[in-house]
Protein backbone atom coordinates (compact mmCIF):
# COMPACT_ATOMS: atom_id res chain seq x y z
CA UNK A 1 0.00 0.00 0.00
CA UNK A 2 2.78 2.42 0.86
CA UNK A 3 4.77 1.42 -2.21
CA UNK A 4 2.06 3.04 -4.36
CA UNK A 5 2.22 6.31 -2.43
CA UNK A 6 3.66 9.21 -4.46
CA UNK A 7 7.09 10.34 -3.16
CA UNK A 8 5.74 13.81 -2.32
CA UNK A 9 3.05 12.28 -0.07
CA UNK A 10 5.53 9.88 1.51
CA UNK A 11 7.83 12.79 2.41
CA UNK A 12 4.88 14.67 3.93
CA UNK A 13 3.99 11.62 6.05
CA UNK A 14 7.60 11.27 7.23
CA UNK A 15 7.66 14.92 8.24
CA UNK A 16 4.37 14.59 10.14
CA UNK A 17 5.60 11.53 12.03
CA UNK A 18 8.94 13.20 12.75
CA UNK A 19 7.01 16.15 14.21
CA UNK A 20 5.31 13.77 16.63
CA UNK A 21 2.01 13.43 14.80
CA UNK A 22 0.35 10.14 14.04
CA UNK A 23 -0.46 9.39 10.42
CA UNK A 24 -2.10 6.31 8.98
CA UNK A 25 -2.78 6.34 5.25
CA UNK A 26 -6.48 6.08 4.40
CA UNK A 27 -6.09 2.72 2.66
CA UNK A 28 -4.43 1.16 5.70
CA UNK A 29 -6.91 2.70 8.14
CA UNK A 30 -9.82 1.33 6.09
CA UNK A 31 -8.24 -2.13 6.00
CA UNK A 32 -7.61 -2.09 9.76
CA UNK A 33 -11.14 -0.91 10.52
CA UNK A 34 -12.60 -3.63 8.32
CA UNK A 35 -10.79 -6.33 10.27
CA UNK A 36 -10.91 -4.79 13.74
CA UNK A 37 -11.88 -7.36 16.35
CA UNK A 38 -11.47 -10.26 13.98
CA UNK A 39 -8.83 -11.98 16.09
CA UNK A 40 -10.67 -11.50 19.36
CA UNK A 41 -13.25 -14.28 18.94
CA UNK A 42 -12.45 -17.47 20.80
CA UNK A 43 -12.78 -20.82 19.02
CA UNK A 44 -16.04 -21.48 20.92
CA UNK A 45 -17.40 -18.05 19.92
CA UNK A 46 -16.53 -18.78 16.29
CA UNK A 47 -18.34 -22.11 16.59
CA UNK A 48 -21.43 -20.44 18.06
CA UNK A 49 -21.29 -17.71 15.40
CA UNK A 50 -21.28 -20.33 12.62
CA UNK A 51 -24.36 -21.92 14.16
CA UNK A 52 -26.08 -18.53 14.42
CA UNK A 53 -25.24 -17.88 10.75
CA UNK A 54 -26.80 -21.24 9.94
CA UNK A 55 -30.09 -20.07 11.42
CA UNK A 56 -29.92 -22.14 14.58
CA UNK A 57 -31.82 -21.07 17.69
CA UNK A 58 -30.03 -20.77 21.03
CA UNK A 59 -31.65 -23.99 22.24
CA UNK A 60 -30.46 -25.87 19.15
CA UNK A 61 -26.92 -24.55 19.53
CA UNK A 62 -26.90 -25.51 23.21
CA UNK A 63 -28.01 -29.07 22.43
CA UNK A 64 -25.49 -29.50 19.60
CA UNK A 65 -22.61 -28.12 21.67
CA UNK A 66 -23.62 -29.74 24.98
CA UNK A 67 -23.75 -26.39 26.78
CA UNK A 68 -26.58 -24.50 28.46
CA UNK A 69 -28.80 -22.00 26.68
CA UNK A 70 -27.51 -19.35 29.09
CA UNK A 71 -23.94 -20.11 28.02
CA UNK A 72 -24.96 -19.73 24.37
CA UNK A 73 -26.50 -16.34 25.23
CA UNK A 74 -23.26 -15.25 26.91
CA UNK A 75 -21.23 -16.30 23.87
CA UNK A 76 -23.58 -14.38 21.57
CA UNK A 77 -23.36 -11.31 23.79
CA UNK A 78 -19.55 -11.46 23.63
CA UNK A 79 -19.61 -12.01 19.86
CA UNK A 80 -21.86 -8.99 19.33
CA UNK A 81 -19.67 -6.83 21.55
CA UNK A 82 -16.45 -7.84 19.82
CA UNK A 83 -17.93 -7.30 16.36
CA UNK A 84 -19.67 -4.05 17.29
CA UNK A 85 -23.08 -5.51 16.47
CA UNK A 86 -26.43 -4.66 18.07
CA UNK A 87 -28.07 -7.98 17.23
CA UNK A 88 -27.41 -11.45 15.86
CA UNK A 89 -28.04 -10.41 12.27
CA UNK A 90 -25.52 -7.57 12.45
CA UNK A 91 -22.97 -9.92 14.00
CA UNK A 92 -23.36 -12.41 11.16
CA UNK A 93 -23.21 -9.62 8.56
CA UNK A 94 -20.02 -8.21 10.11
CA UNK A 95 -18.42 -11.66 10.21
CA UNK A 96 -19.35 -12.28 6.58
CA UNK A 97 -17.90 -8.91 5.49
CA UNK A 98 -14.67 -9.67 7.33
CA UNK A 99 -14.38 -13.14 5.83
CA UNK A 100 -14.59 -14.79 9.24
CA UNK A 101 -17.41 -17.10 8.20
CA UNK A 102 -19.17 -18.20 5.03
CA UNK A 103 -22.88 -18.80 4.53
CA UNK A 104 -23.64 -22.49 4.66
CA UNK A 105 -20.64 -22.94 6.91
CA UNK A 106 -22.61 -23.78 10.07
CA UNK A 107 -21.76 -27.11 11.58
CA UNK A 108 -24.57 -29.59 11.95
CA UNK A 109 -23.08 -31.63 14.76
pTM: 0.62
At 74, is the pLDDT very low, low, confident or very high (cuts 50, 70, 90)?
A: very high
C-alpha 81/C-alpha 97 separation (Å) is: 16
Q: Give tens-digit pLDDT for 2-47.
A: 567 788 888 887 888 888 887 777 777 776 666 664 558 999 999 9
Query: How far is it, in rounded angstroms, from Cα 102 to Cα 80?
Result: 17
Question: What's the pLDDT score for residue 3?
Answer: 65
In this prediction, residue 65 carries a pLDDT of: 95
Query: Are 101 and 92 a contacting pair, CB within 8 Å?
Result: yes
Sign of CA dihedral 79, 82, 88, 89: negative
- For 38-97, the fitting CATH number among 1.10.10.10, 3.40.980.10, 2.40.110.10, 1.10.10.2160 is 1.10.10.10
Amino acid sequence: MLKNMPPKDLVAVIRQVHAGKKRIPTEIAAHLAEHLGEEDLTPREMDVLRHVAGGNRNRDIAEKRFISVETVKVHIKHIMGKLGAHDRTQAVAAALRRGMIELGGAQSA
